[in-house]
Copies of this chain bind each other. A is one copy, B any other.
Amino acid sequence: MGLPKTYDSFEFIQAGSEVITVNMLKGVGIAGKRAMTSTSSPGFSLMQEGISYAACEEIPFVILNVMRGGPGLGNIGATQGDYRQAIGSGGHGDYRNIVLTPGNIEEMYDFTIKAFDLAFKYRMIAVVLADGKLGQAKEGPVLLKEKDEIEINNYNVDEWAHDNNQNRGPRVSTSSYLKEDLMEKHNLYLQEKYKLIEKNETDTFEAYKIDDADIVCIAYGSVSGVTKEAVDACREEGVKAGLIRPKMVWPFPSKILQELADSTKAFLTLELSVGQMHRDVRLAIEGRKPTELIEHMGGVIHTPEEIYNKIIGMEKHYR
């Protein structure tokens, strides 16, 4: 319980580049210690090679990516354009990252703690995926936890970490599988692990006024706040809107969407990217109900009015 002695101290290190950063994270992680970095979009792109290696070698660490306007240099406005990249399409090969999506400053803190736990629970990279608005916002005080309120679980770290234990043989961490059947076997093992996580981790979304909802919105991060405002405004008008807010986008809360497809009339995705999350919504619904999308990109964020009007319109159209 409480902070183990080793976590009483921490160190900030300035790395030489993003390529080096991700390899330093690998080094700390394989030693069974906790390390994280924070970056913003272009820096995250530079880490993709190392991410693919770490995913293969099951090395746990945490990356906070505060997404900004892009592609390219862009600006420091709020976007969600790194969604697919974060969940595991940024690097080569088939792998997944756990991706937590805080919706406010408090969650920026809480989800980072949770990210470390999940990273070590599953020997995965956990990405905290925020947007430029969250990255720059100031909110009322965040309740920092007392040291003994944080439970740090090292899980089975002793079984795999390259630690100082002299009473065991050498341990090797590698992503080199020259024999193709062994590489496939390892990939099958990884996919099994990913399926297990999809099954185990159920606290992946917040459900807001969905029980009788005709129009179910899906939005995360900064967009979820304005969407709630729009949902509330609709409810005041008697229009039954609701919201599924993913707290993780991998594993993605597909199951709740599939269940809601029975009762709701239509789905509305709100995101700051060109349908990147909407594709996961559509894959969940698979044509059973209409799915619509309002997307922004480049740092512009939806207004509550814009969403409100869309919901009202959809409610009439799909009545």
Contacts and interface: CB of A to CB of B under 8 A. Distances in A.
B176 A73 contact: yes
A188 B79 CA distance: 14
Interface residues of A, number: 77
Nearest to A282: B283
Interface in A63-80: 67, 69-75, 77, 79
A141 B11 CA distance: 33
A42 to B, nearest CB: 5
A97 B196 CA distance: 33
B94 A274 contact: yes
Nearest to A65: B92
B56 A74 contact: yes
Contacts of A111: none
Interface stretch (A46-54, A202-210, A223-231): A46-54
A95 B71 contact: yes
A172 to B, nearest CB: 13
Nearest to A184: B298
A94 B81 contact: yes
A147 interface: no
10 contacts: A13-B13, A48-B48, A52-B71, A56-B70, A70-B92, A71-B91, A74-B177, A94-B297, A183-B298, A283-B283
Interface of A: 11, 13-17, 19-20, 23-24, 27, 41-46, 48-49, 51-57, 67, 69-75, 77, 79, 81-82, 84-85, 89-95, 174-188, 191, 273-274, 276, 279, 282-283, 286-288, 296-300
A-B pairs, top 5 by smallest CB distance, nearest first, are A72-B175, A70-B93, A71-B93, A183-B298, A180-B299
